[in-house]
Amino acid sequence: MQHEETQGMACECTGRTPHIIRPQTRRDLLKVCATGFGYTAFAGLSGLAAQAEAATKPATLAEATGRGPLLPRPTHHQPRAKRVIFLFMHGGPSAIDTFDPKPRLIADHGKPLPFEQPVGIIDPNGKLTKSPWEFKKYGESGADVSSLFPHQAEVVDDLCIIRSMHTEGQAHGQAVLKLHTGDATFVRPSVGAWILYGLGTENQNLPGFVTICPTPDHGGVQLYGPAFLPAVYQGTSLGQAGTPASKVQFNHLKNPRTPADLQRRQLDLLQEMNREYQHQREVESQLEGVIQSYELAFRMQMHAPKLLDLSQESKATLDLYGVDKQPTDDFARQCLLARRCLEAGVRFVQVSHSFKWDQHGNLKGGHEKNAAETDQPVAALIKDLKSRGMLEDTLVIWGGEFGRTPTAEGKDGRDHNPHGFTMWLAGGGVKPGIRYGNTDEFGYYAVENKVHMHDLHATILHLLGLDHEKLTYRYAGRDFRLTDVYGHVVHDIIA
């Protein structure tokens, strides 16, 4: 029904003609409100999308601060691992002398490489050189292990040996950064920082990310730093390279001159001033990291000394690792401390055998010394975790930044080889007792089921319940992630 608009007579008090509002039809109402209905629907859908994203994406620092930025957070999918130990063999162990035997090198020993070597090789005329060590098959899996690692040979059925790793960076600095941060050139968050950002930690009285005797070389603090992630996700160093593991401590843990109650009052005053400054200046990341680190440091005074006290371990456990024996004592203590950190709820622990595997010369003597220091403690860690029921949800990673060439450098060394090398994983949802991928018949290039460093990082995050494409942080106008725009989960190695 249509209604005509009419004009009334002038109002006696104002002299103006009143406007009579014409009644609207349902059609008129829908025409006027259509846009509003669209926005209403859009707002509803946006809310649902935000809720779904919040359920799968780690909270921002501001969102997390109210409940603690390091508290455990939901994962993107069901995790297979809860925690990680990374055994970093800094310098580059030779795959063809440890886990990747090459009979062709025995047959062609002393001959030239039948193809051109990549750019950057120090001795491009080096001849093919067979391994000085004998390989044998071990365990039910029949995996090949050289005589360098008799103890790791005992646990080979627990290992997933990836023989087809490859990366970027002919030099240590590039390759080490790639391994630890996913980028060989720019300053980026470390793997441990990404994991802590994504998952939080299970113990609010200890750091969520600990690096034991970290190297100062080839990146230094970048290897356990947060870069543009909030500072609270920085790794905490326990000792430094060159410091005997028997003497490692968290820096500035105790103040013998000030009792705990007075420290608490002083800290409360300092934190109140920090919060006020933070509110006034709208600074978030760095100052929040300082605030949280102060609180954690105060709590650690009570909990860290117990963590570092190896006298609580049984003699059988100490003997298993090789504690108080040479040459295993130092690395044995690092591995045992790593296990204790995991038991206490630390999320990510790195153990570094710092810059000892770079045998450009004296391959035999150098690799034998390194193996003697690390082989027993590494195998003991696997056995110990397994006996405690921890291996199934602990991911153990062993390896260096790259491998070594099948050709000789000088008289008795091997040069860097990022094109094909070996790392192994254990526990945490990976298939035990398998060898995955292959290098060519000389051990130079990965050729079968190739696994790039980005793929390894994507797989580590996947095992922890994190989607490497969803674990992002917005910085400088774009979303960053550990794997940048690359990486594929290696599903074939997942149990």
pLDDT for 120 equals: 86
Long-range contacts of 17-26 (CB under 8 A, 24+ apart): 25/1
Threshold 0.85, pTM exceeds: no
The answer to whether residues 436 and 163 touch, using CB atoms and an 8 Å cutoff, is yes
Burial class (CB in 10 A: 0-12, 13-18, 19+), 417: buried
Residue 52 has pLDDT above 80, yes or no: no
Q: What is the mean pLDDT of residues 458-466?
A: 98
Residues 6+ apart with CB under 8 A from 485: none
Q: CA 10, CA 17: separation in Å to the nearest integer?
A: 4
Average pLDDT, the chain: 86
Burial class (CB in 10 A: 0-12, 13-18, 19+), 311: exposed
Q: What is the mean pLDDT of residues 480-484?
A: 97
pLDDT for 37 equals: 53
pLDDT for 211 equals: 96
Percentage with pLDDT > 90 across the chain: 66
The answer to whether residues 338 and 348 touch, using CB atoms and an 8 Å cutoff, is no
The answer to whether residues 189 and 482 touch, using CB atoms and an 8 Å cutoff, is yes
Q: 451 or 8, which is more confident? A: 451
pLDDT for 151 equals: 98
Residue 90 has pLDDT above 50, yes or no: yes
pLDDT for 288 equals: 61
pLDDT tens readout for residues 162-185: 999 999 999 999 999 999 999 999
Residue 307 has pLDDT above 60, yes or no: yes
Residue 83: φ, ψ to 5°: -150, 165
Which one-letter DSSP state was computed for residue 441? Answer: T
Which residue do the tokens 């009644």 mark? 23
Task: For residue 146, give the amino acid letter.
Answer: S
pLDDT for 3 equals: 41
pLDDT for 13 equals: 46
SS3 sequence of 52-119: HHHHHCCCCHHHHHCCCCCCCCCCCCCCCCCEEEEEEECCCCCHHHCCCCCHHHHHCCCCECCCCCCC
pLDDT tens readout for residues 179-228: 999 999 999 999 999 999 999 988 877 889 999 999 999 999 999 999 99
b vs e for 120-146, b when ≥16 Cβ sit within 10 Å of the residue's Cβ?
Answer: ebebeebebbbbebebeebbebebbbb
Structure tokens at 230: 């909030």
Q: CA 253, CA 293: separation in Å to the nearest integer?
A: 12
Query: Other CB atoms closer than 10 Å to residue 78's CB: what's the count?
Result: 7
DSSP codes of every residue in 230-252: -GGG--EEES-TTS-GGG---TT
pLDDT band at 249 (very low <50, low <70, confident <90, very high): confident
Percentage with pLDDT > 70 across the chain: 76
Q: CA 252, CA 241: separation in Å to the nearest integer?
A: 18
Would you say the C-alpha torsion 184, 213, 460, 146 has a positive or negative sign?
positive
Which one-letter DSSP state was computed for residue 492? Answer: G
Which one-letter DSSP state was computed for residue 321? Answer: H
Task: For residue 388, give the amino acid letter.
Answer: R
Burial class (CB in 10 A: 0-12, 13-18, 19+), 16: exposed
Residue 99 has pLDDT above 80, yes or no: yes
Nearest to 178 by CA among 219, 208, 217: 219
- In the beta sheet, which residues pair with residue 403? 417
pLDDT band at 281 (very low <50, low <70, confident <90, very high): low
pLDDT for 412 equals: 93
Q: What is the mean pLDDT of residues 462-483?
A: 96
Q: What is the mean pLDDT of residues 104-130?
A: 93
Helices (H) and strands (E) in the chain, counts: 12, 17
b vs e for 339-357, b when ≥16 Cβ sit within 10 Å of the residue's Cβ?
Answer: bbbbebbbbbbbbbbbbbb
pLDDT tens readout for residues 11-46: 444 445 554 455 667 666 666 555 555 555 544 444
